[in-house]
Amino acid sequence: MRVSTILALCLALGAATAQRARKPADVQILETKAVREGANISLDGKVRVIGEKSLRGLVIIFDFRSPEKQIVTSQSAIIDEDTLVAGREGVFHSEMADSARAVRYTVRAFDMHDRELRVANPGPYPVE
């Protein structure tokens, strides 16, 4: 009885520590949509900088995935090359050649210095 109580207490403390160690996201995906239009896939959406620090530029990477969840192609969009402060929103419009096996996509983000940013709501999102 005592052993199980001690074990449960240790697991609870470990879970609480793991949650506190997680850093908040830098960028949040507010909306995104990918639509097949003929021989192209059109991407539209909106992002917001939610991190504490300003960002020097914002580059969004879209990883298109097959039904087996493997990346078949990636597409990038530059949101802004200037310094972005917390709370600022940006929109993206991008078009790429259709990849027949692309059924979903996930989102990654980088600043202009190629530093990977943490993304809230990275997906996966369907390709319509």
Using the predicted structure, report yes or no on whether residue 13 has a pLDDT greater than 90.
Answer: no
Which pairs from 122-126 meet CB under 8 Å and 24+ separation? 122/29, 123/29, 123/32, 124/65, 125/32, 125/33, 125/34, 126/34
pLDDT, residue 85, reads: 79
pLDDT, residue 101, reads: 84
pTM over cut 0.95: no
Work out the average pLDDT over 13-30.
70
Please name each of the domains of the chain with its CATH number.
24-126 (2.60.40.10)
Run of H or E including 64: strand 55-65
Q: What are the tokens at 28?
A: 């949040």
Work out the average pLDDT over 29-56.
87
In 3D space, the residue among 23, 31, 19 whose CA is nearest the CA of residue 107 turns out to be 31
Per-residue pLDDT band at 11 (split at 50, 70, 90)? low
Work out the average pLDDT over 63-82.
86
Using the predicted structure, report yes or no on whether residue 84 has a pLDDT greater than 80.
Answer: no
pLDDT, residue 100, reads: 80
Distance CA 79, CA 82 (A): 9
pLDDT, residue 67, reads: 92
10: phi then psi, degrees, rounded to nearest 5? -65, -40
Using the predicted structure, report yes or no on whether residue 19 has a pLDDT greater than 80.
Answer: no
